[in-house]
Amino acid sequence: MANVVPAEEFAELTGGRVHLLRGGTGEPVLFLHAAGGAGEWHPFHGLLAARGFEVIAPDHPGFGKSDDFPSVEAIDDLVFHYLDVLDALGLRRPHVVGASFGGWIAAELAVYAPHRIGSLTLLSAAGLRLPEHPVTDLFLLPPDKLVATLFHNPPPPAPATGAAPDLDAIIAAYREATSLARFSWVPFLNDPKLERRLARITAPALVAAPSDDRLIPVEHAKRYAERIPDATYTEVPECGHAMYFERPAEFAALVADFLSSHPLVMAESGAGL
Amino acid sequence: MKFSFFHLMPYPYLPDDFDERYDSTALTYPNANFSPALGASLYARYLDELEYADQLGFDGVAVNEHHQSAYGLMPSPNLMAAALTRRTSRARIMVLGNAIGIRGNPLRVAEEIAMLDLMSGGRVDSGFVRGIGWEYFGHSINPTKSRSRFNEAHDLILKAWTSPEMFSWYGENYEYRYVNLWPRPLQQPHPPIYIPGAGSTETMKFCAERRYTYMSVYAPTRIVRRWFDGYRDAAADLGYEPDPERIAFSVPVYVAETDEKAHAEAQPAVEWLYRKGLKQTAEMVTPPGYMSPGSLRGVLSSGMRPLGGFSYEDLLAQGQAVVGSPASVADRLGKLYADLGGFGQLIGLFAIGPLSHEQVMRSAELFATEVMPVLRPLGVMRDKATA
């Protein structure tokens, strides 16, 4: 059941093309990826789709195979960008699931346009400013320390192959880091106004955090759960910020159970506006 | 050839376990390691050295801007330049430069340079730099905006200096309803401008179009040659041959009475500069967006290696330090002049890392009295030379 093969699509917007993967049938789930994970159909996505959902996973502006959209400069622009994406895909009120950086976008989207969100799932979302629980500066971490920060049990380093570094891969990674920095260098991965706006969210929300999050302290997820009116808080044990990269089955089950217990009002979820 | 005495004002007192414990002298190097008492005496010493260079006949004394770093103790180069206006009399006062990419208010830079120009009787040269990677972390400036902020600040400052009437400014990064510079600079239309280049073809073209002085940063000769050629080519594309004085070669220099003495004293200092002073992680050098994908590809495929990986002998062979007796230094710089296709300004770093005050003063004196006269005829525009 887990091997749902996604279709690859491009959505044409005014400012460029959005690349997305789409797999499964059922209620639509817009999945917003983290700083890593653009363009990847991970076992997590397959498992979620196999539970009876149509998972739609676009790449953010400047990530994966999506265009740069240079006029998308900050989090508010991302909100309008994703409203355009919802319109282009004919999604009136889907489930929205966001991980980390994508969770921040999801939360903002739910604040700006509560009527467009069927349910909201935040997986260790960025976006809040909690000076007493600062987010680790991932821009300053060398690759080995980044891996050690993201995982509860970091995978062993890949054996050195002696091959020349893949220049294209380095450039692609730098492009994605540049896009992330464009949106979130300062304020660093937060919107100072977001916390007080969370009360606007009307959709039922699942706020999930890995127990051992060394990038975004779990206090962020707890604060989200406190401030969103209809939120449920859950922790996944023995897991780091990599979340579904570290524990795909647990995260897929957690999200699928929540979505299943909060069915969309079908007339509103929209295939077609 | 014109010669300037450039100072970084380093804080050389690093702990013995620096190499093992710290990634860099900058950004995250704890300021508990800074002694205010030593810092006060360093400033006095370093200003003395710059003033002595003026007395020795250097054409310029140069300062620059760095933040949150033991590599260079000048968060505000304009303060140092202000001190120099009153204690020097002949030399150009070269601010190389103000890091306008990370400044919050570029109009302030226009004001301060104008003040310095008046205070110095028109002796100021105004360099503009983007600010290096770690400073975008340190001052919380988005590195993806670096180029745009630099370009806009430059345009604004130039217009503020030269506009005969008040204007408004609405840009991508800055907005001013009233730009009406008081005071205006003494030099007309404005102080000469210096821009450092590190391989960007955009910068070469930018400088060539405006006839700004293009200055190198520390890099192997074969790479600096490529940069200088790029500037010359950009000028040729515009239909002119640049005055050699518009090309400035930057290099650490140490002179002593004999080659043996010079190398014995300079080696630890040069190694300090490249291995400790400039120690930084890849993440600090190129924060995201600081380079364009094209420039990054260029750097990665040019085979440039981290500076700390080179031996002292490599650094000498590559022209990243010039050390020896007066005769050897003159000879070596003459060869570098030829290898680089010529240049009309030498920006020498004489106070290298942990060199003592006496060593720096003696080296500068030997350079001024015995090396400068030999090199002076080089790098002069042909029609000027015959005039």
Each residue's pLDDT tens digit, B204-219: 999 999 999 999 999 9
B119's tokens: 């205070």
pLDDT at A270: 54
pLDDT at A269: 57
pLDDT at A267: 55
CA distances from A120 to A85, A93, A117, A255, A267 (A): 17, 11, 7, 10, 18
**A142–B282 CB contact, under 8 Å:** yes
State which residue of chain A sits closest to B141, comparing Cα positions.
A186
Evaluate if residue A157 carries a pLDDT over 50. Answer: yes
pLDDT at A272: 44
Q: Give the residue from A75, A178, A179 with the most B CB atoms within 10 Å of its CB, the best one to mutate.
A: A178
**B293–A142 CB contact, under 8 Å:** no
Please report which confidence band the pLDDT of residue B87 belongs to, taking 50, 70 and 90 as the band edges: very high
State which residue of chain B sits closest to A71, comparing Cα positions.
B172
pLDDT, mean of residues A29-33: 98
B166-182 pLDDT, tens per residue? 999 999 999 999 999 99
Residue of A165, A167, A185 with shortest CB distance to B144: A185
Evaluate if residue B386 carries a pLDDT over 60. Answer: no
Contact assessment for residue A109 and residue A229, using Cβ atoms and an 8 Å cutoff? no
B222's tokens: 């074969």
**A185–B140 CB contact, under 8 Å:** yes
pLDDT at A273: 43
State which residue of chain B sits closest to A181, comparing Cα positions.
B288
| 3-state DSSP assignment of residue A128 | coil
State which residue of chain B sits closest to A170, comparing Cα positions.
B297
Q: Which residues of chain A make contact with B281, given a CB cutoff of 8 A?
A: 140, 142
Mean per-residue pLDDT of chain B: 95
State which residue of chain B sits closest to A141, comparing Cα positions.
B283
What is the bridge-based pairing of β-strands A27-32 and A53-58? Answer: parallel
State which residue of chain B sits closest to A146, comparing Cα positions.
B283
User: Which of A103-112, A252-261, B298-307 is least confident?
Assistant: B298-307
pLDDT at B387: 40
pLDDT at B295: 80
Evaluate if residue A22 carries a pLDDT over 60. Answer: yes
Give me the DSSP letters along B194-256. EEEESS-HHHHHHHHHHTPEEEE-S--HHHHHHHHHHHHHHHHHTT-PPPGGGEEEEEEEEE-
Distance from the B289 Cα atom to the nearest Cα atom in chain A, whole angstroms: 5
pLDDT, mean of residues A13-28: 97
pLDDT, mean of residues A240-252: 97
Evaluate if residue A149 carries a pLDDT over 50. Answer: yes
Contacts of A258 (CB under 8 A, 6+ apart): A119, A121, A206, A232
Please report which confidence band the pLDDT of residue B202 belongs to, taking 50, 70 and 90 as the band edges: confident
**B142–A186 CB contact, under 8 Å:** yes
pLDDT at A2: 55
- Complex prediction ipTM: 0.93
Q: Which residues of chain A make contact with B297, given a CB cutoff of 8 A?
A: 167, 171
Give the H/E segment covering residue A53: strand A53-58
Q: Which residues of chain B make contact with A143, given a CB cutoff of 8 A?
A: none
State the alpha helices, DSSP H only, in A90-121: 101-112
**B288–A177 CB contact, under 8 Å:** yes
Evaluate if residue A271 carries a pLDDT over 60. Answer: no
Evaluate if residue B234 carries a pLDDT over 70. Answer: yes
Interface of A with B (CB under 8 A): 137, 139-142, 165, 167, 170-171, 174-175, 177-178, 180-182, 185-186, 188
Residue of A137, A170, A178 with shortest CB distance to B289: A178
Please report which confidence band the pLDDT of residue B305 belongs to, taking 50, 70 and 90 as the band edges: low
B25 or A271, greater pLDDT: B25
Distance from the A37 Cα atom to the nearest Cα atom in chain B, whole angstroms: 18
Cα gap B67→B98, rounded to integer Å = 12
| 3-state DSSP assignment of residue B330 | helix
pLDDT at B116: 98
B356's tokens: 């003592």
Cα gap B65→B95, rounded to integer Å = 8
Evaluate if residue B143 carries a pLDDT over 80. Answer: yes
